[in-house]
């Protein structure tokens, strides 16, 4: 039986609407998950002290619970050999949040949860009790010097920590919301501005942010002129025929080549081929240790430039094709040469499309990880590739990348479980970096478009 025509209309509308809603929901859910879990990591949660029915005492931060069980992050890897503990809720006799429990992040062995017993000052004095705490607070603010902290866990076992090993220290149970907010802000800032420590599971991601941005910028610098000139040739110079059509199809298909293939190509051609040649010509004295003959910033940027080239070419070509023939002819009819027409009429009008191409290229490049693993990304390269030493920008150096850091944190680190919140935080950051990069380009494009606003209306 045929559906009534109007009913078909309605179904079609609902179906397409539902698909849009579903897509939106997926995006929102993804962002919400990543952002909330990422940002929550920096919130100083209360530390609970539990007394179990067998008399055991445990201090930790409640993370998640399943039927009848709750998981605590108990830290103190050096004392317990583990940082997570599942506790049966029935076994818990008391739950309290004593104000003197502290949470210290150490550069080795991960965080410590426990109490302060004493501090050693640089003068060799040992201070105890309230005085120790007062002195510690001064030291944290930078007004006093301490060599060693004497801590003990809730069961009384002692641990010594050199003050230099302490990345941060707080008493979360004493903090009000304002303090926690400040501590949260501080935590976020440290994450953004510090280098990773403790096998990447602590500290910040600044070198990775910098590496990602720098690599994307270098890549844009390479891909934009190449892509635009190639598109200009294909669209404006080359005789339109079967050959140009073939080239066009090839370029479009290049965009579909898996990125690992580009990685292999980069490794073979750039790193071993070009890099090896450069080394034997200019850095022979350092051989066999390679200078350019190993993965690095330059080769990674070039590989990604190659990967994103089709995107720029296709977008530019579309922009060029959209410039009306009437305007080209109008310019030529005024005595302009083809080059003058191109420079003064065609290219200015196609500029927004070229920028769209670059935006798409940047978005793709910033998120691409796989080829980088072959051509220069490093698990840990705390030194950023720009410094005060000639040639200031070190194109041969390895670099860190947010995407790879994410992979490393989540799947290659010592304690993937503990690093999980950092995975989310890094993922959030990666999304933010890409959004910021895109916004910059979009704003730039908007400014250009304002000049050609009328074109958009016609």
Partner 1 sequence: MSAASFSAAETQRLSSAVVDFPSTSSCFDIEALSLAYEGKPALRDLTLRVPRHRVTAFIGPSGCGKSTLLRGLNRLHDLNDQVTRQGCIRLEGQDIHARDVDVAELRRRVGMVFQTPNPFPMSIYENVAYGVRLQGIKRKRELDEIVEWALQSAALWEEVKADLHASAWTLSGGQQQRLVIARTLAVRPDVLLLDEPASALDPISTLKIEELIRGLKSQLTLVLVTHNMQQAARVSDYTAFLHAGELVEYAPTDTLFTNPRLRRTEDYITGRVG
From candidates 49, 173, 220, 331, binder to partner 1 by CB under 8 A: 331
Quick check: helix, strand or coil at residue 149? Answer: strand
Name the token pair of 37: 């879990």
* Smaller CB separation from partner 1, 345 or 366: 345
From candidates 98, 273, 276, 348, binder to partner 1 by CB under 8 A: 348
From candidates 61, 345, 363, 423, binder to partner 1 by CB under 8 A: 345
242 binds partner 1 (CB under 8 A): no
> Cα(316)–Cα(354) distance, rounded to whole angstroms?
5
From candidates 69, 88, 131, 329, binder to partner 1 by CB under 8 A: 329
* Smaller CB separation from partner 1, 2 or 457: 457
Within 21-136, strands assigned E span 48-52, 57-66, 69-73, 84-88, 92-96, 102-106, 111-121, 126-128
Distance of CA 411 to the CA centre of its chain: 15
Q: Which stretch, 130-138, 259-267, 344-352, 425-433, contacts partner 1 (CB under 8 A)?
A: 344-352
Fill in the DSSP letter of residue 258: -
> Cα(108)–Cα(129) distance, rounded to whole angstroms?
26
Beta bridge partners of 14: none
From candidates 142, 239, 242, 392, binder to partner 1 by CB under 8 A: 239
* Span 116-135, contacts to partner 1 by CB under 8 A: none
* Smaller CB separation from partner 1, 311 or 349: 349
Least distance CB 312 / partner 1 (angstroms): 23
From candidates 10, 68, 156, 330, binder to partner 1 by CB under 8 A: 330
81 binds partner 1 (CB under 8 A): no
- Cis preceding-peptide flag for 437 (omega within 30 of 0): no
453 binds partner 1 (CB under 8 A): yes
* Smaller CB separation from partner 1, 88 or 329: 329
Least distance CB 458 / partner 1 (angstroms): 7
From candidates 4, 124, 142, 335, binder to partner 1 by CB under 8 A: 335
327 binds partner 1 (CB under 8 A): yes
> Cα(103)–Cα(170) distance, rounded to whole angstroms?
5
Pick the closest to residue 110 from 199, 178, 13, 195 (CA basis). Answer: 199
* Smaller CB separation from partner 1, 345 or 418: 345
Torsion of CA 303, 305, 307, 308, to 10 degrees: 170
54 binds partner 1 (CB under 8 A): no
Torsion of CA 220, 223, 224, 229, to 10 degrees: 170
Least distance CB 336 / partner 1 (angstroms): 5
Q: Which stretch, 101-109, 195-203, 409-417, 449-457, contacts partner 1 (CB under 8 A)?
A: 449-457
175 binds partner 1 (CB under 8 A): no
* 154: Cβ contacts below 8 Å, ≥ 6 apart: 49, 57, 58, 59, 101, 113, 114, 115
From the number of C-beta atoms within 10 Å of its C-beta (0-12, 13-18, 19+), residue 201 rates as middle
- Pattern 400-439, partner 1, x by CB under 8 A: ----------------------------------------
* 427: Cβ contacts below 8 Å, ≥ 6 apart: 34, 38, 406
Which residues of the chain form contacts with partner 1 (CB under 8 A)? 239-240, 324, 326-327, 329-337, 340, 344-345, 348-349, 451-455, 457-458
């Amino acid at each position: 039986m045929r559906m009534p025509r109007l009913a078909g209309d309605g179904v079609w509308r609902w179906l397409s609407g539902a698909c849009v809603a579903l897509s939106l929901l997926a995006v929102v859910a993804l962002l919400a998950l990543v952002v909330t879990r990422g940002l929550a990591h920096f919130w100083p949660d209360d530390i609970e002290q539990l007394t179990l029915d067998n008399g055991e005492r445990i201090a930790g931060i409640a993370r998640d619970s399943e039927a009848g069980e709750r998981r605590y992050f108990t830290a103190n890897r050096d004392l317990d050999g583990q940082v997570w503990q599942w506790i049966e809720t029935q076994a818990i006799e008391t739950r309290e949040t004593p104000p003197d429990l502290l949470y210290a992040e150490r550069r080795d062995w991960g965080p410590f949860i426990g109490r302060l017993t004493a501090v050693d000052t640089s003068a060799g004095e040992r201070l105890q009790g309230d005085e120790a705490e007062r002195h510690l607070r001064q030291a944290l603010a930078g007004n006093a010097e301490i060599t060693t902290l004497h801590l003990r866990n809730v069961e009384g076992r002692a641990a010594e920590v050199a003050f230099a090993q302490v990345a941060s220290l707080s008493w979360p149970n004493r903090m009000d919301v304002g303090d926690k907010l400040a501590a949260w802000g501080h935590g976020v800032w440290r994450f953004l501005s510090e280098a990773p420590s403790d096998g990447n599971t602590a500290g910040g991601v600044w070198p990775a942010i910098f590496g990602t941005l720098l690599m994307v910028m270098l890549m844009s610098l390479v891909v934009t002129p190449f892509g635009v000139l190639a598109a200009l040739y294909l669209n404006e110079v080359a005789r339109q025929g079967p050959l140009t059509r073939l080239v066009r199809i090839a370029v479009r298909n290049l965009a579909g080549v898996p990125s690992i293939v580009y990685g292999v190509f980069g490794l073979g051609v750039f790193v071993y081929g070009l890099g090896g040649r450069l080394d034997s010509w200019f850095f022979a004295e350092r051989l066999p240790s390679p200078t350019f003959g190993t993965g690095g910033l330059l080769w990674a940027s070039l590989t990604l430039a190659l990967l994103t080239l089709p995107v720029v070419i296709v977008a530019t070509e579309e922009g060029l094709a959209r410039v009306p023939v009437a305007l080209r002819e109008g310019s030529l009819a005024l005595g302009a040469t083809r080059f003058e027409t191109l420079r003064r009429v065609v290219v200015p009008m196609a500029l927004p499309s070229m920028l769209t191409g670059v935006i798409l290229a940047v978005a793709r490049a910033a998120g691409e990880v796989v080829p980088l693993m072959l051509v220069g990304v490093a698990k840990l390269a705390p030194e950023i590739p720009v410094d005060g030493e000639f040639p200031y920008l070190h194109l041969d150096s390895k670099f860190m990348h947010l995407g790879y850091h994410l992979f490393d944190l989540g799947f290659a680190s010592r304690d993937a479980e503990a690093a999980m919140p950092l995975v989310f935080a890094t993922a959030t950051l990666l999304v933010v970096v890409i959004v910021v990069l895109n916004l910059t380009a979009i704003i730039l494009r908007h400014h250009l478009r304002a000049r050609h606003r009328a074109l958009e209306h016609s």
